[in-house]
Amino acid sequence: MIIKKLPDAPFKDMPDHGDITKQIVIGPEDGSREIVLRYFKVAPGGSSPHHRHDFPHLVKVEAGKGAVLDPQGTEHPLGPGDYVYIHDNEPHCFKNTGPEFLEFICIVPVRGEG
């Protein structure tokens, strides 16, 4: 069994995303061979690129206000307690639309964090 607190989770470099931080809360270093639990913070005005991956994402918004953009670029508002499932190869983007950090948990398969 592994028990961690978020401040103890290591940060992962995101060189092309200066307004986003990522922490690996639970991953392969903890013995997880199938899934990785990550924690993202998106600064006010920040966003991820509109992109896709060949793996699904499970997301739970923890704090802040934001939006997720669907494949057509339509914004869907997000707030604390919202959940999002992104299918394999589905174009998406997370965007902070509020004055505070948008914070969310994102679970992906181990191959998604490679």
Q: Are 81 and 59 in contact (CB under 8 A)?
A: no
Other C-beta atoms lying within 10 Å of the C-beta of residue 15: 5
Q: Where are the beta strands (DSSP E) in the chain?
A: 11-12, 20-26, 35-42, 57-63, 66-69, 75-78, 83-86, 93-96, 102-109
18 pLDDT band, cuts 50/70/90, is confident
| Mean pLDDT, residues 46-64 taken together | 94
54 neighbors 88 (Cβ within 8 angstroms): yes
Q: Is the pLDDT of residue 65 over 90?
A: yes
- Above pLDDT 70, what percent of the chain? 97
pLDDT recorded at residue 104:
98
Closest listed residue to residue 107, CA positions, set 58, 61, 34: 58
